[in-house]
């Protein structure tokens, strides 16, 4: 062990009790400093969450793709990309009218609507992600870092989501209608999950032309194709 100009070897510690005591003191001091830094970091995160709940100051720059963080310090705030907001509103209106996610994706592709993640084409999964994202009505649920059984886990803040953390881009009514219509379609048609062994490259491979992920497109004569 090396600390500054002090070098503690096994031979030195075995022959010099004072060196052993000094080494223990150094180790204890390092442990205390590490614990203090950890406590300060946790305290800073608690303060950031309190500011977010009380004054809607963003905790981090992380935000949905239709928002951008601007400003510095306590003047930070999110700005809405209106073009992308209109796309999301259209998706919810189509879902609320009973149109499925595959049909919505096809409609967006046919009308050359740009995706939110700069991919070439819309996929049903991308539409599903939009329809499940509570950020469209301003909700954000922060997570806490906890240690359990020697491992660190991220768990939702027990205080619940923060309302109006993000700028709302659709009404609560439209959000509920879109979610309700989607859940009804799921109940009526059921859910189908592709087993992992069905095809090893599904959802792993990507198209060399458009960059989209490879997925199962249907069933023909009992066979499933990519």
pLDDT in tens, 57-69: 999 899 999 999 9
Same structural domain for residues 99 and 121? Answer: yes
Domain total in the chain: 3
The widest CA-to-CA distance across the chain, in whole angstroms, is 83
User: Would 87 be classed as within a structural domain?
Assistant: yes
Same structural domain for residues 63 and 127? Answer: yes
90's CB contacts (< 8 A; 6+ apart) are none
Query: Whose structure tokens read 């109006």?
Result: 164
Whole-angstrom distance, CA of residue 132 vs CA of residue 179: 7
Same structural domain for residues 214 and 113? Answer: no
Enclosing domain of residue 196: 192-226
Same structural domain for residues 176 and 222? Answer: no
The tokens describing 115, both together, are 């995706």
Paired with 155 in beta bridges are: 144
User: Would 161 be classed as within a structural domain?
Assistant: no
User: Would 111 be classed as within a structural domain?
Assistant: yes
pLDDT tens for each residue of 176-222: 999 999 888 765 555 555 454 455 555 566 666 666 666 655 544 44
Q: Which one of 34, 55, 76 terminates a domain? A: 55
DSSP state of 172: H
Whole-angstrom distance, CA of residue 194 vs CA of residue 202: 9
- Please list the pLDDT of the chain residue by residue as tens digits (226 residues): 455 556 666 777 677 777 667 767 777 777 777 777 777 877 888 888 899 999 999 998 999 999 999 999 889 999 999 999 999 999 999 999 999 999 999 999 999 999 998 889 999 999 999 999 999 999 999 988 887 887 888 888 999 999 999 999 999 999 999 999 988 876 555 555 545 445 555 556 666 666 666 665 554 444 555 5
User: 6-7 and 2-3 as β-strands: parallel, antiparallel, unpaired?
Assistant: antiparallel
Q: Is the pTM of this model over 0.85?
A: no
Q: Which one of 55, 74, 100 terminates a domain? A: 55
């Amino acid at each position: 062990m090396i600390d500054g100009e002090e070098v503690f070897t096994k031979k030195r510690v075995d022959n010099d009790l004072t060196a052993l005591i000094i080494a223990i003191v150094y180790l204890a001091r390092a442990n205390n400093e590490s614990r203090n830094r950890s406590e300060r970091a946790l305290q800073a995160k608690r303060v950031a969450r309190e500011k977010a709940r009380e004054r809607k100051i963003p905790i981090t720059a992380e935000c949905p793709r239709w928002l951008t963080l601007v400003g510095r310090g306590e003047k930070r705030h999110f700005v809405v990309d209106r073009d992308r907001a209109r796309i999301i509103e259209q998706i919810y209106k189509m879902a609320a009218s009973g149109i499925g996610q595959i049909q919505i994706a096809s409609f967006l592709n046919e009308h050359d609507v740009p995706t939110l993640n700069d991919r070439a084409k819309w996929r049903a999964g991308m539409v599903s992600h939009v329809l499940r994202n509570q950020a469209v009505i301003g909700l954000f649920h922060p997570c806490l870092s906890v240690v359990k059984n020697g491992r660190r886990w991220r768990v939702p803040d027990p205080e619940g989501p923060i309302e109006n953390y993000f700028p709302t881009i659709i009404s609560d009514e439209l959000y509920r209608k879109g979610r309700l219509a989607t859940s009804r379609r799921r109940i009526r048609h059921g859910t189908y999950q592709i087993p992992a062994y069905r095809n090893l490259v599904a959802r792993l491979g990507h198209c060399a032309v458009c960059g989209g992920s490879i997925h199962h497109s249907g069933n023909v004569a009992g066979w499933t194709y990519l």
